[in-house]
Chain A
Amino acid sequence: MSFFLNQYGSQDVSEEKLQIAEVQFDAMCTTFNNILKTCMEKCIPHEEYSEGDLTKGEICCIDRCVAKMHYSNRLIGAYVQSRGFGPSTHLRHIEQFKRDVPDADS
């Protein structure tokens, strides 16, 4: 860790920003993994491959699958955000879960 050449050294660490960043990272990571899993299951055959490169059909399938998943994610996210969906309004049961299973929070 360089104490002299750190360009972000003058900024303070804000707890709120850290939490926001954590939530954003979780959301993006979940979305990405969902897209990855769904499109792999839909587009890439499980029984037989012939070569290591993607074929033309697989390329088209993956392009379309990722575009659809990404667009629908964006749509639903915008809708849900405009309705004020949040942990305090719609996810009250999560506090109970956190109390019941103390080590599940990750």
Chain B
Amino acid sequence: MGYEGFGLDHINPPPHKNAPFKSLTQEQQAERSAELMVDFMTSCPGKTIISGVTGFALGGIMGLFLSSMAYDTPLHTPSPTTSIAGINGQAMVKQFADLPMKQQIRLQFSDMGKKSYSSAKNFGYIGMIYSGVECTVESIRAKNDIFNGLTAGCLTGGGLAYKNGPQAALVGCAGFAAFSLAIDLYMKSEDGKPPKNDFNE
């Protein structure tokens, strides 16, 4: 049923619309590739991939910074050097400090890398799922309002906390949806109709 033009395009087709790529001149080729690139980036899969990659990168950087503060939090998962049964933590720390400097640095960097990678994966998932769900819901509904963000936030939060049981999934859904609502309302707070004319101040 799709729209294919009023018929003028069939009678008198524009010359370079469907021409094979090799037959175009240099600047037309550049134009065509730019068009394809922009089309991909504004489509749903493109947006999902871009959000996922950006989330991964940001999560990695944040993980790097947060890994240095990880010893303070009670939720810090014990690294392999402290979880060996029968040896208490202080002895482990003393043993750790006795290693040569290079090994200490290497262990530290590997710990930082692991935490950074896990944080990057988490943020990458968040970005990917949120962007994918929002784009899909908006394409299906064909409307641009705040409900898309709420659905995407709920599915993201619920999907990430799904393994911890249904209650955690509900809490995650509600929390992430509220977060998405707050951010969207803030970004839309300055929207409005354009002024009728440029004269009144």
Chain A contact residues, CB within 8 Å of chain B: 28, 31-32, 43, 45-50, 55-58, 60-61, 63-64, 66-68, 70-71
Question: Whole-angstrom distance from the CB of A91 to the nearest CB of chain B?
Answer: 24
Q: Is the CB of B191 within 8 A of A56?
A: no
Q: Is the CB of A56 within 8 A of B144?
A: yes
Chain A residue contacts of B44, Cβ below 8 A = 56
Q: Is the CB of A28 within 8 A of B6?
A: yes
Q: Is the CB of B144 within 8 A of A66?
A: no
- Given that A46-B193, A67-B1 are contacting pairs, would A57 and B42 also be in contact in the complex, using a CB cutoff of 8 Å? no
Contact of A57 (CB < 8 Å), options: B1, B142, B188, B192: B142
Contact of A56 (CB < 8 Å), options: B2, B138, B188: B138
Tally of B interface residues using CB under 8 Å: 20
Question: Whole-angstrom distance from the CB of B46 to the nearest CB of chain A?
Answer: 11
- Given that A46-B193, A66-B3 are contacting pairs, would A61 and B142 also be in contact in the complex, using a CB cutoff of 8 Å? yes
A66 and B44 alpha carbons, distance in the complex (Å): 21
Which residue of B is nearest A45, CB measured? Answer: B144
Q: Is the CB of B135 within 8 A of A56?
A: yes
Q: Is the CB of B192 within 8 A of A48?
A: yes
